[in-house]
Structure 1
């Protein structure tokens, strides 16, 4: 076991340690420039997805809105509460600024990776689609790169399907035990049962559940943060100035100054919004849309919601409170956020936060499950394999909840996500000309007066796309 931990530790050092974060940031800046700041040009269109009028009327299909909410439910998790708290503690308030910056850049990366996943999706049955980086490799780069798709699929199953679900179960059970005094066994049983009910319904039930859960959790958490801000509105300008000054080293809150703020902000921001990591495209490909760029724009909006909105809520709760101690060691991010809320609003707030953590983590579990299932179908397409995987997820969630020490078994999760991200970035680079082609097509139709651009498969006859997947029903 020690040998395996050493090997995966080296993999983690080679990815997250020094190479991955700079590559993600530099590549995100490149995409932003090469696409003409696409995330800002189409920012207004992002809000259209919230209207049901711009979504599929067929209840059997996954709409753009549902795919957005599944994605938001997956991106928004413990990192938005615990991760932000740790970043501010270790990097100072300036870490928040760099989280915002990396999110704005990541919006372009997410738009491109999700548009590519949409283009190469495959129709499965009458009402479903499957796609993602693995299928983009198989159909965009060709069967000679199947080995790369296999590496991607294995990493996705290991990191998201298995490891992160154990951690999410642990987070929920710990929060419930700390605030409500309920034993981990009972919360573990309840969480495992609830997870099983949703995941055995497949992507359609996951989408319907997310359509209910995600708006409640996002709006509820946003309302709590707005209450904190309104009650302390006079201090908000000072908090903004502290964030900016610390971000550029004008004020120093922790050792390392601007460097610590930059490192923590970029790392936690990328880990939270997942832009470029290759996870969200799997969900993006399930939606029925008229043009791949439409779903790319939608998923770019998901990054905005995750970091600019939800992470900022946590940041202001912490910085407006009087519990935060810059540079504190052995920090528990959930506890810091919880104590900050109590200091600002009173004891009832800790129960509100526990409910938020429950929703955040549960939405992440069902999202992580689908990522693992989708990757599994690249390796094995038999119903038995999916059944075994579903049972394994239920057991992992339960064990993670009742036995916190068991999560140490999943030490490979972060290193595997690092490899996953590197593979995904390689795929984006190789297929980036195709993404630019899609963007030109989309922009050209808009200039011609088409309000809702439509992909014409005949324009992409040279690519291995599934024409059935792009044969949309007449409106």
Structure 2
């Protein structure tokens, strides 16, 4: 078992090494420049389009707003709480700067993914609008690239059980047991039943729950973090200065922090940024393909807000609390570091804020990724696989909640990286289509 774990660790380190991180960041930079910084210039416009997109009578299954909330339900999760803390614990405060940079260029990646998802989507034999990387590879690239579409769907259907199911269930069970001393068995049962009520209702019910839970929890979490930041406002310049300076210079050992080189800040900042907002992995466009819209560009603009909300807003809030509280140098890591930081900033209730956020975010991630995995499985085997996949998904939740997931984490990490490769290839090859469609959208304006 130890040999297998070591082997998987080596594979994961290679897949998520400098080449992959350079590709993810590089594609984002390439698309941003090719779009002439369209995503930067139209951020406010995208917010207005999102507000108007709360209702729609165009072709699709869910409203554009619900599509974004569904994508965010799968994106906002342990990465925003534990992932940010891990990046800071291993890469120092400078890792936050590289998370920001990844998100800013990742907005163009997420925009491009959604544009292609809507343009090349299909209607399945049950009348649902389906799309994502497997469909824009199949319909946009065609012919000799079809094997890439199959590869993405295969990796996506399997990866969903790791990063989107068992890992999230384990995080919920562990957090609830730590803070409330509730045995993992009971948490597993409740979590499975709640998930069943939503997932068995399909994308419309998932979208309804996501559009209710995600905004409420995100706003609550940001409000709690802002309270800590505002009550320590005099430390804001120092915290921001530390983030920027540590991004380009080695972070010295302080307290329980062992110190970190610049490369560590870059590596963990980019990696955790991608893990958090999923730009380039190809998951979010599966949700956006179901949107009630006939305009790929407008849906792309809504989609890019997901990266902004996830990383620039929520991850930044977590990071500032960790740094301003001084907890970053305590030697703690992951969710424990975030919990310590919030408890310092909000004595008596800070740990509850983190645990509640972790539980709700992880629960919505289970819902969102169930849809992603299901669509990937449908691409491979047709609509007949939908109900077996949903039932298998529900069975995996208690396994994850009560199990030891070292190997699951490693497999999920590897499969996520394998998902990204076909998607990045497709984005690069289809970039002329994205650029042309964007120019045509802007021309009358």
Count of aligned pairs: 441
Residue 68 of structure 2: aligned partner: 68
Q: 1:382 to 1:51 in 2, by over 3 A?
A: closer
Counterparts of 2:161 and 2:185, CA distance in 1: 22
Deviation, structure 1 residue 12: 2.3
**By how many angstroms is 1:60 displaced?**
8.4
Answering whether residue 56 of structure 2 is matched by residue 56 of structure 1, we say yes
Distance (Å, rounded) in 2 between the aligned partners of 1:7 and 1:316: 36
Could you say what secondary structure the match of 1:411 adopts?
Answer: helix
Relative distance call for 1:387 and 1:53 in structure 2 (3 A) is closer
CA contact (8 A) 2:167 2:408 kept: no
- CA gap of 1:349–1:155, structure 2 versus 1, over 3 A, is same
CA distance in structure 2 between the aligned counterparts of 1:53 and 1:260, rounded to whole angstroms: 40
Q: Deviations over 1:449-473 (max 9, x none)?
A: xxxxxxxxxxxxxxxxxxxxxxxxx
What does residue 300 of structure 2 align with? Answer: 296
Asked whether 1:168 is paired with 2:168, we answer yes
Deviation at 1:395, TM superposition (A): 1.4
Residues 62 and 162 of structure 1: is their aligned pair in 2 closer, same or farther, counting only changes over 3 Å? Answer: same
1:202 to 2:202 alignment: yes
Aligned residue number for residue 19 of structure 2: 19
Distance in 2, Cα, partners of 1:7 & 1:250: 30
Alpha-carbon displacement from aligned partner over 1:246-302 (angstroms, at most 9, x marks no partner): 112176455443222122111111111111111111111110123101111111110
TM-aligned CA deviation for residue 143 of structure 1? 4.2
Residue 465 (structure 1) aligns with: none
- What is the CA–CA distance in structure 2 between the aligned matches of 1:293 and 1:364, rounded to whole Å? 26
* Matched ranges for 1:32-47 at <5 A: 32-47=32-47
Deviates more, 1:121-130 or 1:184-193: 121-130
Relative to 1, partners in 2 of residues 1:289 and 1:126: Cα closer, same or farther, differing over 3 Å? farther
Q: Match for residue 316 of structure 1?
A: 320
CA separation in 2, counterparts of 1:60 and 1:262?
40
Question: Per the alignment, do residues 235 and 3 of structure 1 end up closer, same or farther by CA in structure 2, a change over 3 Å counting?
Answer: closer
The structure-2 alpha-carbon separation of the partners of 1:333 and 1:162, relative to structure 1 and needing over 3 Å to count, comes to closer
* Per-residue deviation, residues 372-421 of structure 1 (Å, max 9, x unmatched): 000011111143x2211111111111111122x14534532111111111
- Displacement of 1:225 in angstroms is 0.7
List runs of 5+ in structure 2 lacking aligned partners.
none
- Measured after TM superposition, the shift of residue 124 of structure 1 is 3.7
Q: 2:162·2:411 contact (CA, 8 Å) conserved in 1?
A: no
Please, what TM-score do these two structures have when normalized by structure 1? 0.88
What is the TM-score with the length of structure 2 in the denominator? 0.94
Partner residue, 1:444: 443
CA distance in 1, matches of 2:52, 2:302: 13
Residue in 1 aligned with 2:413? Answer: 414
Deviations 1:131-150 (A, max 9, x none): 00001111111144322111
Structure 1 position 154, deviation (Å): 0.9
Q: Structure 1, unaligned stretches of length 5 or more?
A: 448-475
C-alpha contact (below 8 Å) 1:49/1:55 kept by paired residues: no
Tell me the residue number matched to 1:230: 230
Q: 1:8 to 1:324 in 2, by over 3 A?
A: closer
Name the structure 2 match of 1:334: 335
CA distance in 2, matches of 1:91, 1:53: 39
Conserved? CA contact 2:58–2:293, under 8 Å? no
Query: 1:118 — aligned with what?
Result: 118
Indicate the residue corresponding to 1:325 in structure 2: 329
Aligned to 1:457: none
CA apart distance, 1:342:
1.2
CA 298–348 in structure 1, closer or farther in 2 if over 3 Å, else same: same
Cα separation, 1, equivalents of 2:184 and 2:368: 22
The 8 Å contact of residues 96 and 265 in structure 1, kept in 2 or not, is answered as yes
Separation of aligned partners in 1, 2:345 and 2:115: 42
Residue in 2 that maps onto 1:434:
433
